Amino acid sequence: MSIQTTIRPYVRRPQFKPNDFLISQKPNEVRYLPSTLVPIEIVGDISPNRIDFHFKYSGLESPHVRKFPKEGVEITVGKYTNKVLGISLSFEPTYADLISSVDLGVTAVKKARAFLVKDSVQKSYDLIVDFLSQAKKDFGTNAKNALEDMFERHTPDASADAA
């Protein structure tokens, strides 16, 4: 079975409310997240043992060479702002492992957030955590059947039958 047939695209264009961008508010001062730190589109490539999420922003930025590998989770960040440009999750080719890898991704993003100094970038990471939680929900509802079908077709027995 070729790789192309097993990759399932997952695309989301998040809809935010103005309050999602609020960092802090005082009587004469309000601070918001700038549009350059808000993901406008998220594309996920799902294969039987890996998910690659790519986060698109209104401003481009080179990826940082350093990543945060943790239990099969790799976070690629921007060179200058540290915003999340991509998350790769590796897992055993089962539906249950896929779901738990998303949880590990959330944990890794939260840990990476703790090392950040700037409130705006921290807020951007919060949006990424929200997105991963939404993706987990989608994998458990709308996309569940398609994903289970993908794993079934990927098992060695199924491959042998197909051959």
Partner 1 sequence: MSKKQKALLALQIACGVLLAVLPFVDQARINRYTDDDIRKHLYTFVLRYNLYLAVICGGLVAFAPALKDIFYPREKNKQVREKIMETMMEELFGGQRQNVRITIFKDAGVFVHSWIYLRLLAANIRAGRKWLPPRGKYVYVKERLGTEFSRSKTFFYYSPATRKKCHGVAGIVRQSLEVMILKNLPDIEGIDLRTLNMANKRSPDVRAVQDYIDQSYLRDFESLKRIHSPARHFYGSILQNNESPKGVLVIDSVQNDCPFEDPLVLKRLSYYSSLFTPTM
Query: Please, which residue, 7 or 23, has the CB nearer to partner 1?
Result: 23
Contact status, residue 134 vs residue 31, Cβ threshold 8 Å:
no
**Residue among 41, 56, 71, 80 that touches partner 1 (CB under 8 A):** 80
- What are the helix and strand counts (H, E) for the chain? 5, 8
Q: Is residue 23 part of the contact set for partner 1 (CB under 8 A)?
A: yes
Q: Is residue 18 part of the contact set for partner 1 (CB under 8 A)?
A: yes
Q: Are strands 22-26 and 29-32 parallel, antiparallel or unpaired?
A: antiparallel
Residues in binding contact with partner 1, number by CB under 8 A: 26
Question: Could you say which residues in the range 28-67 bind partner 1, by CB under 8 A?
Answer: 28-37, 58-62
Contact status, residue 128 vs residue 109, Cβ threshold 8 Å:
yes
Query: Please, which residue, 41 or 149, has the CB nearer to partner 1?
Result: 41
Cα–Cα distance, 14 to 81 (Å, whole number) = 21
- Shortest distance (Å) from residue 32 CB to partner 1: 4
Query: Cα–Cα–Cα angle for 87, 141, 122, nearest 5°?
Result: 35
Counting every residue, how long is the chain?
163
Q: Is 10 helix (H, G, I), strand (E, B) or coil?
A: strand
Question: Could you say which residues in the range 128-157 bind partner 1, by CB under 8 A?
Answer: none
Query: Please, which residue, 33 or 75, has the CB nearer to partner 1?
Result: 33
Q: Which residues are near partner 1 by CB under 8 A? A: 18, 21, 23, 28-37, 58-62, 79-81, 117-121
